[in-house]
Amino acid sequence: MRYVVLDTETTGLSHENGDRIIEIGCVEVLNHVATGRVFHKYINPQRQIHAEAIRVHGITNEFLADKPVFAEIAQEFVEFIEGAVLVIHNAAFDIGFLNSELGRLNYPAIPEEQVIDTLALARRRHPMAQHSLDALCRRYGIDNSKRTKHGALLDAELLADVYIELIGGRQPVLTLVASTETTHEIRVTQTVTLTLRPRPLPRRLTEEERLAHESFIAELGQDAIWLSYLDPAAEQPELAS
């Protein structure tokens, strides 16, 4: 399964009122393991950033003055997320901004069914707890000490770890599958398949011990269950009458 963990930073809280995206951070994950591929861009919003927003993420108008506008990075972004499920915390916020930016350029909107909202997952799993990214990092013991301010790429990296915990952690699921042949398989879900083939152990009894054991079994009678464990290739003991 391929998914992309995504976060954005913006000039303000309302794309309906003209606020724009100023940073996008994406982390690619395959089978719940980060691949090392990331998409990270700062974007010139072509408008002023609200002072309240600067206090949250620390990104200034001066810093963004020489950065590309969204139109210059849009195609690369669309190609990076193509075919992937998007994992986002408070997805309605980010998707609203992204679809607003994509719509200006006549790109298709990101559909709701392509998105997993970790805020909704956290509320269902921990209904009486706090659900911010920082609170979830504390709950799951994830080191967020570098998060002195919001940042799209760092937050996406932290959210990738949080999401794993929200869906049950990294422990592999072991399933024993009996084969119709004489082999058995132990399958580790999405990890590896091991095939174990039974092989006889070397005989450790001396000949004297084997004969004494068979003599004892012969005294138990024809219905003794131990008879079924004797080596059929060996000479059978004469049963006591």
How far apart are alpha carbons 106 and 102 in whole angstroms? 6
First to last CA, the chain: 68
Q: Which of 105, 117, 37, 113 is nearest to 75 (CA)?
A: 105
Mean pLDDT along residues 110-118 = 97
The answer to whether residues 2 and 26 touch, using CB atoms and an 8 Å cutoff, is no
The answer to whether residues 101 and 67 touch, using CB atoms and an 8 Å cutoff, is no
Task: Give helix then strand counts, H and E, for the chain.
Answer: 8, 8
Identify the pLDDT of residue 186. Answer: 36
Range with lowest mean pLDDT among 103-107, 113-117, 145-149 = 145-149
pLDDT digit string, tens, across residues 10-31: 999 999 999 999 999 999 999 9
Q: How many CB atoms lie within 10 A of CB 180?
A: 5
The answer to whether residues 26 and 80 touch, using CB atoms and an 8 Å cutoff, is yes
Identify the pLDDT of residue 214. Answer: 76
* Pairing of β 184-188 and β 33-42: unpaired
52-75 burial, b at 16+ Cβ within 10 Å, e below that, comes to ebbeebebeeeebeebeebeebbe
How far apart are alpha carbons 220 and 238 in whole angstroms? 11
User: Which residues belong to the active site?
Assistant: 150
Mean pLDDT along residues 165-183 = 57
pLDDT above 50: residue 84: yes
Mean pLDDT along residues 139-143 = 96
141-172 burial, b at 16+ Cβ within 10 Å, e below that, comes to ebebeeeeebbbbbbbbbbbbbbbbbeeeeee
Walk me through the domains of the chain, giving residue ranges and CATH numbers.
2-166 (3.30.420.10), 173-199 (no CATH), 203-241 (no CATH)
Identify the pLDDT of residue 209. Answer: 76
pLDDT digit string, tens, across residues 179-225: 444 334 434 444 444 444 444 555 666 777 778 777 777 777 676 66
Identify the pLDDT of residue 200. Answer: 52
